Amino acid sequence: MLKKIWGSDKRIRYILIGGINTSVGLSVYPILYLILDSVLTYFQILILSQAICIGFAYLSTKKMVFKTKGNWGGEISKFLTFHAIVLVTNILTLPLLVDAVGLSPIIGQTLFSVIVMILSYVWHSRITFRKS
């Protein structure tokens, strides 16, 4: 039964793997923040956490959701383009949420991440891993 569900629809796989990616994404920043906050700024921690999360998300999405083979260069460039846009937006948004709105960095980053989760499926299904 699980094999039939897992193999039948990439949207279901995206939700399941997205849940794992979300868990990783939502936990890496707070963990790094709690560990490194005396050494790095919240902004530097953001950059480090994004690098970790993007690498993990690319591999899991490619291999387990869209199950594409080859085309590493083309896919990763599209994947990184999306995440570069997200990162720039995050860089601009997180300080506003922290300094202007007064949210903690953890809450601000979590709110931002929820929006990214939705946009990510749209981009990756229609652009990054789209079959030619």
What are the tens digits of pLDDT across the range 80-103? 999 899 989 999 999 999 999 999
The Cα–Cα gap between 57 and 55 comes to: 6
pLDDT at 35 over 90: yes
Would you say residue 60 lies in a domain?
yes
Would you say residue 105 lies in a domain?
yes
Q: Which of 4-8, 44-48, 57-61, 104-108 has the lowest mean pLDDT?
A: 4-8
Token representation of residue 56: 């993990």
DSSP for 16-51, please give it: HHHHHHHHHHHHHHHHHHHHHTTTS-HHHHHHHHHH
- Which pLDDT value is given to residue 7? 61
Would you say residue 4 lies in a domain?
no
Would you say residue 16 lies in a domain?
yes
| Number of domains observed in the structure of the chain | 1
| Cα distance from N-terminal residue to C-terminal residue, the chain | 30
Q: What is the DSSP letter of 1?
A: -
Look up the domain containing 47 and give its range.
9-128
What are the tens digits of pLDDT across the range 49-64? 989 998 999 999 999 9
pLDDT at 2 over 60: no
Would you say residue 3 lies in a domain?
no
The Cα–Cα gap between 132 and 71 comes to: 11
Average pLDDT over residues 32-52: 94
DSSP for 104-116, please give it: -HHHHHHHHHHHH
pLDDT at 4 over 70: no
Average pLDDT for the chain: 88
Would you say residue 1 lies in a domain?
no
Would you say residue 116 lies in a domain?
yes
Would you say residue 77 lies in a domain?
yes
pLDDT at 132 over 70: no
Taking residue 120's Cβ as centre, other Cβ atoms within 10 Å add up to 23
